[in-house]
A and B are shown apart, each in its own frame.
Chain A
Amino acid sequence: MRDLFAVIMLFGIFSFIAALLFLDMDAVDVAFTEAAVGAGVTTVLMLSALRLTQRYENVSHRHAGMALVVVTLTGAALIYGTLDFPSLGDPNAPVHEHVAPEYLQQTPEKIGVPNVVTAVLASFRGYDTLGETVVIFSAGIVVMLLLGLGRAEDFEQQEDILILWVVVKPMVALILVFALYVQFHGDFGAGGGFQAGVIFASGFILYSLVYGENHTRKVLPARWLPRLAALGVLLYAGTGMFSFFKGQVFLDYNALADSPVSGQHLGILLVEAGVGLTVFSTVLLIFYAFSGRRAVVHE
């Protein structure tokens, strides 16, 4: 298939089906992330990358036989590997035997949030999530260093776009409110900083697709975004350092408030806010870098 546009669309559909699969396995948080990141923002980012190149793949005259052999062998090896898997829902599977029962038992008494996934992500595995946040932050910084922040193109006003203007304006407000709901409701239901950041950024992206990027850049200038992303990481690591200076272990939220459980609540809230801020500004930064690149190149 040489039409790269169709490839991107197929990739989005694949992500969406993967999200439905996760949902079917009761992994609501993962499904949410997959739908927001894989099917939503990645598609937009790849489309804006495609816009910088061309829609159709160049014809190559090399033989594809070797590639086919490699793909077949890898696929066969992977399928052979799945034969050793424990069957789905097996209580004796290794995943269910080591730390998972401990987390499930300790979450209600020690952390006190209904959503165990949030407790594991933000508290038990706080180090890992800090690492992920730093990875996202550095991805944004690398894209900014490679492509620059871009510049908004002159957006020609079109008369017949009125329907989209009217529909998108309340829709953007709804998306932003929903993102805040996902952010702060992550302790109780599915959601959290990662999903909320992506949804918040997608509100801005939708606005800039319909109203023109120059208007979005007026609302949120591109030069703020790396600072916001750094602020998110700082908030996360600062929460950890605070408990460190109060004589506890790094990222031990028990030190944040009088009682350990309310300390955990506060810590998770702060850490998730940091994650959301970093993810939001990085996603929007990458979008700005790609979509603002044309105006820079055309000069």
Chain B
Amino acid sequence: MLIGLLSDLCLLFGGLLCLTGGVGLLRLPSFFVRLHAASVTETLATVFLIAGVMLDTGWALDTAKLLLLIVIMFVANPSITHALCRTAAHGKYRPESNHEPQASHQQENQSSNNSTS
């Protein structure tokens, strides 16, 4: 009973965090701020969502698998964000400018992509 309630709370909080991340991803002005909004909320949201599912499944082998999933997501999510940011900074994206690089510089854009991919 109490565990079920706790699981519901975890899932609800994780869902709310996802929603905040989604709003931030759509509404914030520039690439880096959007990435920040998405990654920070998603990382915590995954932990809460999987923890909610863990409480719901009870004590089984699946619990260990879900725990491993939490660890992987907790490590992988920020690193992917880091890789994205690094690649973007290597290209034409700059944190101080609010605009995305123009599509007209096709050749330069492409070469900058190449050097980082």
Contacts and interface: CB of A to CB of B under 8 A. Distances in A.
A complexed with B: yes
Interface of A: 2-3, 5, 47, 51, 54-56, 160-161, 163-164, 167-168, 171, 174, 209, 294
Contacts of A55: 106, 109-110, 113
Given A51-B114, A174-B72, A167 B79 contact: yes
12 contacts: A47-B117, A51-B113, A55-B109, A55-B110, A55-B113, A56-B106, A56-B109, A161-B86, A163-B79, A167-B79, A168-B79, A171-B72
5 tightest A-B CB contacts, nearest first: A167-B79, A55-B110, A56-B106, A54-B110, A163-B82
Given A51-B114, A163-B82, A164-B83, A2 B103 contact: yes
- By secondary structure, the A interface counts as helix
A152 to B, nearest CB: 14
Contacts of A5: 113
Given A55-B106, A55-B113, A160 B86 contact: yes
Interface of B: 72, 75-76, 79, 82-83, 86, 103, 106-107, 109-110, 113-114, 117
A155 B109 CA distance: 20
Contacts of B75: 167, 171
A160 B75 CA distance: 18
Given A47-B117, A171-B76, A164 B110 contact: no
A32 B45 CA distance: 24
Nearest to A161: B86
A167 B77 CA distance: 11
Given A3-B103, A56-B103, A160-B86, A51 B79 contact: no
A98 to B, nearest CB: 36
B82 A51 contact: no
Nearest to B106: A56
A171 B74 CA distance: 12
B103 A51 contact: no
Given A55-B106, A56-B103, A164-B82, 16 more contacts: A2-B103, A3-B103, A5-B113, A51-B114, A54-B107, A54-B110, A55-B109, A55-B110, A56-B110, A160-B86, A161-B86, A163-B79, A167-B79, A171-B72, A171-B75, A171-B76
Nearest to A3: B103
A54 B72 contact: no
A167 B114 CA distance: 23
A54 B86 CA distance: 21
A174 B75 CA distance: 13
Nearest to B107: A54
A8 to B, nearest CB: 12
Nearest to A166: B79
Contacts of A3: 103
